[in-house]
Amino acid sequence: MGISERKHRQLEQVRTAILAQSWQIIEEEGWEALSIRRIADAIEYSTPVVYKHFESKEAIRSAFSQEGYALLANRLLKAKTACDSPTDQLMALSNTYWAFAQEHPKHYQIMYGLGIPTCEMVRETREILEVSNVFHETIEAAIQASKQPDTDVHLKAMTFWSILHGLIAMGMISGPGDPQTAKRILEDATAGFIKALMG
């Protein structure tokens, strides 16, 4: 009864096509150029077919957001395990986070910005949590190795994350300013944070 399997495969294929074509449009013309009708055109189906696979446009956005967080979590984890000391790890996280935003600006914008729906980020929670965990665990280890072992982990993790996001967001807002300067700001801020953390 491989018949239903083939059907399932075909369905999956359409779903993949939707995401692939959508991504191409996003990469070439930005998120705001993406419309259900354009997706339908690209996959050579009519519009309601898109809704067979995604409840709404927001669901498509969410899928990319999820993908982005998963990608980011992966890279952060890799960068972290390549270092030994917690401070080196933090520096690596900072650099990797930055690099991710530079290499995948569209993903980053979808994950954060767009700001629009003030966040229905419920389904992508799992992936966000993974990113959050990397920060928490590394900060935790750093605190343990520091001179103030009773520091609030959550507080410091959020601070770290916020600093990184702030630098990237500001960089994206003020346009493609000198990336050299931007990198220096990042390193300066990270170094300052680590110093304050380790005491």
Partner DNA sequence: TACTTTTGCTGACAGTGTTAACTTTTGTAC
Partner DNA sequence: GTACAAAAGTTAACACTGTCAGCAAAAGTA
- Residue 119 engages its own copies in binding (rule: CB under 8 A): yes
23 in Cβ contact with 64 (< 8 Å): yes
Quote the least distance from Cβ 3 to its own copies, whole Å.
Answer: 45
Answer yes or no: are the C-beta atoms of 39 and 50 closer than 8 Å.
yes
5 touches its own copies by CB under 8 A? no
d(CA 24, CA 101) in angstroms, rounded, equals 18
From the list its own copies, DNA, none, which binds 3 (C-beta under 5 to 8 Å, kind-based)? DNA
Among 5, 32, 44, 84, binds its own copies (CB under 8 A): 32
Write out the binding residues for its own copies, residues 123-182 only, by CB under 8 A: 152, 154-156, 158-159, 161-167, 169-170, 172-175, 181
Q: Interface with DNA includes 123 (CB under 7 A)?
A: no
d(CA 46, CA 132) in angstroms, rounded, equals: 39
Amino acid code (one letter) for 183: K
Which of the stretches 47-55, 96-104, 133-141, 184-192 binds its own copies when contact is defined by CB under 8 A? Answer: 184-192
Closer CB to its own copies, 53 or 69, in the complex:
69
Integer angstrom CA distances of residue 169 from 115, 166, 186:
12, 5, 12
Q: Which does 73 bind (CB under 5 to 8 A by kind): DNA, its own copies, none?
A: none
The alpha helices in the chain, defined as continuous H runs, are 2-29, 36-43, 47-53, 57-81, 86-103, 105-111, 125-144, 153-173, 179-198
Interacting residues with DNA between 21 and 50 (CB under 7 A):
34-38, 44-49
The answer to whether 73 and 127 have CB atoms below 8 angstroms apart is yes
Binding site for its own copies (CB under 8 A): 30, 32, 109, 112-119, 121, 152, 154-156, 158-159, 161-167, 169-170, 172-175, 181, 184-185, 188-189, 191-193, 195-197
